[in-house]
């Protein structure tokens, strides 16, 4: 069993003992998503794959929050934001903007990229280095701004 999945299970038991219903609900959603992927793919997920599930859930919450804000549904925004806080507990420490920019500059120098045609090469290199540590959509936008 992956360390991250084990940590989620321990946190679930703690939330049950503390009778923290909101935290328990969010943790059960995380565990459910992990188990669903394990059943679908007939494998036991490692830490990297569990982190991928958690990242996907965080992205879904962020998308939902923006949509609920547009629809003026502050009640649902509050629920999604509370879930996002709990989901973020299982994410890797996020890099700062300057660290991401430095990594992009280094990747551009290493690959000799000079135009948008090299975007795929850059993104594949950066994904292996930064995945889980930052939002890859932000990385893509920064690369586009550097080449425009």
- At 30-51, the pLDDT tens digits run 999 999 999 999 999 998 899 9
How would you classify residue 19: left for phi > 0, otherwise alpha for psi between -120 and 50, otherwise beta? left
Task: Work out the pLDDT band at 93, boundaries 50, 70, 90.
Answer: confident
Exposed / middle / buried, residue 34 (Cβ in 10 Å: 0-12, 13-18, 19+): buried
- pLDDT at residue 133, rounded to an integer: 82
Check pLDDT > 80 for residue 132: no
Alpha-carbon span 134 to 90, nearest angstrom: 14
Domain ranges in the chain? 3-88, 97-147
Average pLDDT over residues 131-135: 80
How would you classify residue 95: left for phi > 0, otherwise alpha for psi between -120 and 50, otherwise beta? beta
Extract the tokens encoding 42: 């007939």
- At 105-130, the pLDDT tens digits run 999 898 888 888 988 888 989 988 88
Extract the tokens encoding 141: 């936008």
- pLDDT at residue 84, rounded to an integer: 94
Q: Which fold has domain 97-147?
A: Arc Repressor Mutant, subunit A (1.10.10)
- pLDDT at residue 135, rounded to an integer: 80
Q: Which fold has domain 3-88?
A: Hypothetical Protein Yqey; Chain: A; domain1 (1.10.1510)
Average pLDDT over residues 71-95: 92
Among 14, 61, 13, 64, CA closest to 33: 61
Q: What is the DSSP letter of 134?
A: B
Alpha-carbon span 31 to 38, nearest angstrom: 11
Check pLDDT > 90 for residue 61: yes
């Amino acid at each position: 069993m992956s360390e991250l999945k084990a940590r989620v299970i321990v946190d679930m038991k703690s939330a049950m003992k503390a009778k923290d219903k909101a935290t328990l609900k969010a943790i059960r959603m995380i565990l459910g998503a992990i188990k669903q992927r394990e059943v679908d793919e007939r494998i036991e997920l490692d830490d990297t794959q569990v982190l991928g599930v958690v990242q996907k859930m965080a992205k879904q919450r962020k998308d939902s929050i923006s949509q609920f804000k547009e629809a003026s549904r502050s009640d649902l925004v509050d629920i999604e934001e509370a879930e996002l806080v709990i989901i973020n507990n299982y994410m890797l420490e996020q890099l700062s903007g300057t660290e991401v920019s430095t990594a992009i500059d280094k990747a551009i120098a290493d690959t000799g990229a000079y135009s948008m045609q090299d975007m795929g090469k850059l993104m594949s290199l950066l994904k292996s280095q930064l995945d889980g540590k930052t939002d890859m959509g932000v990385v893509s936008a920064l690369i586009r701004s550097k080449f425009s």
